[in-house]
Amino acid sequence: MAERILDVKNLEINFHTYAGDVKAIRDVSFHLDKGETLAIVGESGSGKSVTTKSLMGLLANNAEVVGGSIMYHDQDILKKSEKEMQNIRGKDIAMIFQDPMTSLDPTMKIGQQIAEPLMKHKKMEKKKAWAQALDILKLVGIVDPEKRINEYPHQFSGGMRQRIVIAIALVCYPEILIADEPTTALDVTIQAQILDLMKELQSKIETSIIFITHDLGVVAGMADRVAVMYAGKIVEYGTVDEIFYNPQHPYTWGLLNSMPTLSSTLLEAIPGTPPDLLDPPKGDAFAARSAYAMKIDVEKEPPFFKVSDTHYAATWLLHPDAPKVTPPTEIVRRQKLFAKMSANKSVKA
């Protein structure tokens, strides 16, 4: 079994606001194994960024961690002081941000921006750190790095800047790389290049990746496992195949249905809007938007039901007493494919 490097358990985070407490993260648990890529997907506002910021100890001032633990190897990140976190950030856990146009300091040479983590964490001298910065610039595919290392961010295109941000994140060879929607702000062709680069570097640097996105489309080629988040909770998680071809939660169905594929021309957006997290609903938070909601969904929160050893979903539809429902056609098509795939596998086995 792979080494477990991160284990988040029952995480609960509130934000104090004038209107009251926003319950942004509600009992979230997940884990990350060495070398794997975990995708966290969900609509805007579902709590993806808050989750990752808590891993870095970078939560906003008005945030309060109400409960839970974040075990990084054998240490709880939530119990660490700011000073201790400074020694982890950028060295063991690094991060790539969404908008490369704004995430680099406009007044500092990119060489120095890449060298900074080395000077801080590896206590390198400037000269040595710049030499290493040059190496990583080559690695992320910047052409003519000897010249460009002396340039400023505004002299680079968006895609190039994101490569530099990746270089900054990877320069200390972190054990965990968090990428919070790293391609959302980029053109589709550039997106593909950046994703390829990340995969390539992952194998070279042997880092584990937490990949945040609201776009299931980019997940398929990137991730080993997927966690689906809704309204501050994880509602389903499993391997990529399990989530794409055997989804169980109506919210996951909705996400897949709203994703363009080759076979489906009809895109269906999920109707309605996510609930107000100041006062989250009592039962299944998705019930109000779900065509499959049952009476119990508004009354009682569903626990996780096991689908396979790696696949769990929090929906009452999986309860033995629940009536059998037929998912949307696209999902049925996928589930049939999945059945075929598993049959093939068991034949081979």
Partner 1 sequence: MRKYLLKRVFYMLLTLFLVATITFFLMKLMPGTPYSNQEKMTPQQIKIMNEQYGLNKPVWLQYLIYLGGMLHGDLGTSFQYSNQPVSYLISSRIGASAQLGLQAMIFGVLVGIIIGSFAAINRNTWIDTLCTVLSIIGKSVPNFVLAVLLQFYIALKLGWFPIADWGGFSYTVLPTIALGVGPLAETARFIRTGMVDVLSSDYIELARAKGLTKFGIVYHHALRNSLIPLVTLIGPYTVALMTGSMVIENIFSIPGIGEQFVKSITTNDYPTIMGVTMLFSAGLVVVILLTDIVYGIIDPRIRLSGNGD
Ligand X SMILES: Nc1ncnc2c1ncn2[C@@H]1O[C@H](COP(=O)(O)OP(=O)(O)OP(=O)(O)O)[C@@H](O)[C@H]1O
What is the sign, positive or negative, of the torsion defined by CA atoms of 186, 188, 193, 194? Answer: positive
What are the distances in angstroms from CA 198 to CA 178, 237, 308, 336, 349? 11, 23, 29, 32, 32
> Residue 143 or residue 347: which is nearer to partner 1 going by CB?
143
Q: Choose from ligand X, Mg ion, partner 1, none: what does 152 bind? Cβ within 5-8 Å by kind.
A: partner 1
The binding track of 93-122 with respect to partner 1, each residue x by CB under 8 A or -, is -xx-x-x--xxxxxxx-------xx--xx-
CB of 126 to ligand X, least distance (A): 36
Q: In what order do the strands lie in the sheet with 63-72?
A: 20-33, 4-17, 63-72, 75-76
Residue 176 one-letter amino acid: I
Among 37, 46, 49, 208, which residue interacts with Mg ion (rule: CB under 5 A)? 49
Complex with partner 1: residue 177 or 226, whichever CB lies closer: 177
Name the pairing type of β-strands 63-72 and 75-76. antiparallel
Q: Which two tokens stand for residue 284?
A: 């299944």
Cα angle, residue 225 at apex, residues 344 and 244 outer, rounded to 5°: 55
CB of 130 to ligand X, least distance (A): 34
The structure tokens listed for 124 are: 């390198």
Contact 234, 30 (CB under 8 A): yes
Least distance CB 283 / partner 1 (angstroms): 36
For the CB of residue 279, give the shortest distance to ligand X in the complex, in Å: 12
Q: Which residue has the tokens 């021309």?
A: 265
Give 172's contacts (C-beta < 8 A, 6+ positions apart).
90, 91, 94, 117, 118, 121, 122
The answer to whether 30 contacts ligand X (rule: CB under 6 A) is no
Q: Which of 155, 273, 310, 344 binds partner 1 (CB under 8 A)?
A: 155
- What backbone torsions phi and psi does residue 134 show, to the nearest 5 degrees? -65, -45
Q: Which is nearer to partner 1, 39 or 94 (CB)?
A: 94
Pick the closer one to partner 1 by CB: 11 or 94.
94
From 15-23, 252-260, 264-272, 284-292, span contacting ligand X (CB under 6 A): 15-23
Interactions with ligand X, residue window 53-92 (CB under 6 A): 60, 62
If one asks whether residue 165 binds partner 1 (CB under 8 A), the answer comes out as: yes
50 binds ligand X (CB under 6 A): yes
The tokens for 196 are 């390829």
| C-beta closer to ligand X: residue 60 or 262 | 60
End-to-end Cα spacing for the chain = 19
d(CA 165, CA 113): 9
Task: Report the distance separating Cα 221 and Cα 3, nearest Å.
Answer: 23
Among 6, 11, 30, 49, binds ligand X (CB under 6 A): 49
The residue among 58 and 278 lying less far from partner 1, judged by its C-beta, is 58
Instruction: Tell me if 10 contacts ligand X by CB under 6 A.
Output: no
Binding interface with partner 1 (CB under 8 A): 56, 58, 85-91, 94-95, 97, 99, 102-108, 116-117, 120-121, 151-152, 154-155, 165, 168-169
Q: Which residues bind to ligand X, rule: CB under 6 A?
A: 15, 17, 22, 24, 42, 44-50, 60, 62, 214, 277
